[in-house]
Amino acid sequence: MKHEQIEEGLARLKALEAAGLFGSDFLLTWDKSEQAIRAVLLTAELLQALREAGISCRLFDSGLAVSIFRDKSTRTRFSFLSAANLLGLAAQDLDETKSQIAHGETVRETANMLSFLTEIIGIRDDMYLGTGHAYMLEVAEAVREGHRQGVLPQLPALINLQCDLDHPTQSLADLMHLARHFGGLDKLRGKRLAMSWAYSPSYGKPLSVPQGVIALMTRFGLQVRLAHPEGYSLVPEIERLAAENARASGGSFSRAGSMAEAFEGADAVYPKSWAPYAAMQRRTELLRAGDARGLQELEKEALEHNRRHESWECDEALMARTRGALYLHCLPADISGVSCKRGEVAASVFERFRLATYREAGYKPYVIAAMMLLAKVERPAEALGALLRRGERRQRL
């Protein structure tokens, strides 16, 4: 992006400032207006442009960005801490893997104890249906009470780094990738996107990626087709939401009976494994009951169930049915013959799009940084403009 393009972007951002992101959490894309979504993408682009021009994006001279990962994560963890670092916040991780179902006073208290000098709290809690989003709401309410009651001098903004319902930092990075590929957000209208289940030899992958994708992409006029074997449906409310979004945006949301059908004439494909819905529900119950044997049996069953659908693999024959589609993935992909015997995608297909998926992932730190900035800075266009005009180098000499 050239200097004039940045200036022009800042002018567009100014028009989006009233999108209601300042002072608020980012938990679900469907709670946010289209203006707000556009503001995040534009801010992400501007931050990337400043960064690549070597201009300091350090808006904070101190302050913490705390991340709470309730399951292991390397990629999201590094995206989050890169974003924090870009803005001048110190990232600090709280390992909570063991206290999976802490709630009530423990959550209220811990949330405040972590937040005395904290600007941002990022949470990933995606393993159990009905719990991740609920946990985030609990933390959000706890810090809001703390701020109201004089415990916290500033209100930390929450960012959903993946819950049971949505994965907004991922779906927005995906949307940014699509926009770059097709020449802009407004060029996505009418484009066909296949969101398809794919086979994986592992079990229990969260539903939030496909849910996030169908809920977000239908808002920008895309024609989204969802395909999965029987038993792998998504949370019903979110499928309904996707249909409504499509109606409102002039796009469409439909179902296909197979990956092949979904891929027919597609401009972009997103073949990705997720767990059977019913299994995810039983899993939450078994976990709550502390039933270790039940969990083992469930895993065995679910893997057997998966195995019946080994043919759901994105291979060259399927890609040939598309209109030269762009392959999307949130990484890591299960690549047949590479990371597993049989997986989500054929090696030759993945290899062709490998670097493209890396670039797709590369938008995530900027998307997260944009969410942070828009939550904490009231007039972002002015703030970014000041960075630009000051022109301080990120690296001296």
Residues numbered 95-134 forming contacts with a second copy, rule: CB under 8 A: 104-106, 108-110, 112-114, 116-119
Q: In the window 315-334, what residues touch a second copy (CB under 8 A)?
A: 331-332
The verdict on 60 binding a second copy (CB under 8 A) reads: yes
d(CA 304, CA 300): 6
The verdict on 85 binding a second copy (CB under 8 A) reads: yes
Q: Specify the residue, 199 or 253, whose C-beta has the smaller distance to a second copy.
A: 199
Q: Least distance from C-beta 239 to a second copy, angstroms?
A: 30
Q: In the window 142-161, what residues touch a second copy (CB under 8 A)?
A: 145-146, 149-153
- Tell me the window of 62-70, 120-128, 224-232, 270-278 that interacts with a second copy (CB under 8 A): 62-70
The verdict on 57 binding a second copy (CB under 8 A) reads: yes
- Count of other CB atoms within 10 angstroms of residue 46: 27
Cite the beta strand spans of 240-299 per DSSP E. Answer: 252-256, 268-272
Q: In the window 222-261, what residues touch a second copy (CB under 8 A)?
A: none
Q: Specify the residue, 113 or 248, whose C-beta has the smaller distance to a second copy.
A: 113
Pair of tokens at residue 76:
């999201």
The verdict on 352 binding a second copy (CB under 8 A) reads: no
SS (H, E, C) 11-39: HHHHHHHHHCCCCCCECCHHHCCHHHHHH
For tokens 């209109």, the residue is 323
Contacts of 56 (CB under 8 A, 6+ apart): 387, 390, 392, 393, 394
The verdict on 2 binding a second copy (CB under 8 A) reads: no
d(CA 383, CA 10): 10
Q: Least distance from C-beta 204 to a second copy, angstroms?
A: 19
- Tell me the window of 75-83, 226-234, 283-291, 296-304 that interacts with a second copy (CB under 8 A): 75-83
Q: Least distance from C-beta 103 to a second copy, angstroms?
A: 11
Q: Least distance from C-beta 112 to a second copy, angstroms?
A: 5
Q: In the window 19-48, what residues touch a second copy (CB under 8 A)?
A: 48
What H or E segment, with its residue span, contains residue 162? Answer: strand 157-163
Residue 193 bridge partners (DSSP): 224, 268
Helix axes 380-390 and 34-52, enclosed angle (nearest 10):
10
What H or E segment, with its residue span, contains residue 227? Answer: strand 223-227
